[in-house]
A and B are shown apart, each in its own frame.
Chain A
Amino acid sequence: METLTFVLSGTLIAATPLLIAALGELVAEKAGVLNLSIEGMMALGAAIAFITVTTTGSYWLALLTGGLAAVLLAALFAAVVLFALGNQVATGLAVGILGVGLAGLIGKPYDSMTVAPMPRLPIPFLSDLPVVGRGLFDHVALVYVAPIAAVGLWWMFRHSKLGLVLRAAGESPETTHAIGYNVIAVRFLAVLFGGFMAGVAGGFISIASATLWSDGLIAGRGWIVIALVVFGTWRAERVAIGAYLFGFATIGELLVQSTGLAVPSQLLTSIPYIATIAAIALLSMDGRRVRLNAPVSLGRVYRETQ
């Protein structure tokens, strides 16, 4: 494997789960709900997907069950936040912790077990190209689906009625309600979608990337996903760019070390986090841009009034 191949391949593998989960959270936040429980949803998805593969051998079924398990968790979050009007930050943290704990508990008999990695789907002809072939086109199908999903969501938000309704629910719930849409239902479904994506992302990590399950597998990536959505100023295409940049940053650290440069490794490990803060600061600085894109009612409790 050449260095460039590794960089391309590693970036895609690191970025894909981030992107998938971020796209899900993007939909939820566009509709006005801030779901901080992503770490827990990803963990649960990872554990359930792993167990499914170990018992049935089917990778696609595993991704499905992982997604569905996370949907259940997301439903709990949505119920508390939308019907019981719970504070979104607190509930998100609570459900997140619950998810991580449940994943560890359910997955305990499978801790540190390993599976054969999900079969790859090399794109014919393109994957035979030198260097970039293996780097870009010899991956698990989900790696190709992620950018396609990003494009799909971009189109949806820009050009479709569904996208309009979602955005309206986030920007101006009262008006949306007044013209006859059930804001609660829209948000509920948006959150469930976010949950499904997070679960699939977690499943990717356990059955395609790390090919094992262990407590703590997600290692804080759920928080990076949340940062990604802000980094991308709530636009699907920018979230995608951010995800690939982040993926590159994590690989970059390892690359620098392997070339023997004497930079303190702890500094290198910190780079993705420092980069996120810098990005957030730079992007949020332009208040107008943030206001234009951040869903106005993000995080605020919405109640139907008679």
Chain B
Amino acid sequence: MKSGLLALVAGACALAMGASAHADTFKVGVLLPSPVADVGWARQQDLGREAMEKECGPDVKATVVDNVSEGPDAARVMNQMMTGGAKFIVLGSFGYMNDGLRAAKQHPDVDFIHASGYKQTKNFGTFTARNYEGFYLGGMAAAMVTKSNTIGIVAAFAVPEVVAEVDAIGLAVQKVNPDAKVKIIWLNSWFDPPKAQQAARALVSQGADVLFSLHQDTPSVVNVAEAEKVYVVNTSSDMSKYGPHSVLASVTNDWTDYFVEQCKAAREGTFKGADFRGGLAAGTVKMAAWSKDLTEEQMAKIKQAEEDIKSGKQHVFAGPIKDKDGKLRVKEGENLPDPEIFGLNWLVAGLDGSIPK
């Protein structure tokens, strides 16, 4: 019985080994915190993965492991990928930071890029999307179309990236329509579709006729907007097919160029662990699904703002900016510097809500 089992294991080993014997395949591993679905963060990362397989070079094979929890299991998956020969690893969630840094230190021959991170080393880069730029434009549109002068934001967690988006919306709304109120509900969950829906309904019941769906990976808020006949601006993917009448715009992420560029560098040995923050100008943030209800005049204003942001003429967080307590955070003539944008933990004046502490 024992020798039979050994033979079985040995045979299985041989099978497994033989199956992956391509010496010149460039292997890439992608870790994602949530399931790859039709839309959402993981989906956009997965599109980047597809691009890598097509354009990074011949014989590039990418493995995606999704729903990797941010705790101790992440390190094991990373290790598995490297044991399987992966030389370039994409860490699709902030929570993989420490395990990723440790793995990068132990394996200097493997290159890593890490989502939303802030520490870089020689073989460890970080990437973040300046979604706040897209939401500034979304905020302008919302302020233009709102008839009830109430705008509602459904946000997942109060992490700096999301707070920056909320603040950008607030600033845009104040500029275009100072009478409009902006209300916020924090879900305290990255994934709870029924709760997101109820939050959306709660905001509608408070009078909101434009909603913002910040980082819900499902069309739950979009569905509610469609049913309640209000507008919605969502994150990550184009969700207009779920809300043909309600989607005002989608702030989508396009990682394809960046992923392919980094993959090529890793493949050719020219990888440098850098901090990439891509916005409208870099094409990482792409506005999609602009609603046909916006008039030509309104679209022109929005497009102008988009051009100004792209060219650098206008900065989303240009002073003077006061926070909710009245403190002046950004002086007139100055812009909020990047480190502070990506560490934002205060709300701009005029927003109706607070940061959960």
Contact = CB atoms under 8 A, between A and B. Distances in A.
A265 B183 contact: no
Residue from the set A2, A205, A257, A262 with the largest chain B CB neighbour count within 10 Å: A257
A113 B39 CA distance: 9
Interface residues of B, number: 39
A255 B202 contact: yes
Interface in B174-210: 183-186, 188, 191-195, 197-199, 201-206
A306 interface: no
B198 A10 contact: yes
Contacts of A258: 152, 183-185, 199, 202-203, 206
B102 interface: no
A7 B202 CA distance: 8
A2 B150 CA distance: 13
Given A1-B228, A254-B202, A266-B188, A210 B356 contact: no
Interface residues of A, number: 39
A127 interface: no
A210 B197 contact: yes
B343 interface: no
Given A114-B223, A258-B206, A14 B198 contact: yes
Contacts, number: 104
A60 B223 CA distance: 21
Contacts of A262: 354
A257 B185 contact: yes
Given A212-B193, A258-B152, A260-B352, A3 B35 contact: no
A56 interface: no
B7 interface: no
B183 A260 contact: yes
Interface stretch (B76-84, B212-220, B301-309): B212-220
B353 A260 contact: yes
Residue from the set A211, A251, A266 with the largest chain B CB neighbour count within 10 Å: A211
A216 B35 CA distance: 11
Interface in B141-199: 152, 183-186, 188, 191-195, 197-199
A172 B198 CA distance: 44
A214 interface: yes
Interface in B306-357: 352-354, 356-357
A260 B354 contact: yes
Contact of A117 (B37, B39, B206, B223): B223
A17 to B, nearest CB: 9
A217 interface: yes
Contacts of B206: 3, 258-259
Contacts of A2: 205
A273 to B, nearest CB: 13
A265 B242 contact: no
Interface in A200-255: 205, 209-212, 214-217, 219, 250-251, 254-255
A205 B192 CA distance: 12
B217 A251 contact: no
A210 B354 CA distance: 27
A5 B202 CA distance: 10
25 contacts: A1-B204, A2-B205, A5-B205, A6-B201, A6-B202, A6-B204, A112-B37, A112-B38, A112-B217, A114-B218, A114-B223, A209-B194, A210-B197, A212-B219, A214-B218, A215-B35, A219-B194, A219-B195, A254-B185, A254-B199, A254-B202, A258-B185, A264-B357, A265-B356, A269-B188
Given A3-B206, A255-B202, A260-B352, 10 more contacts: A6-B201, A6-B202, A9-B201, A112-B38, A212-B193, A212-B219, A214-B193, A250-B198, A259-B206, A264-B356
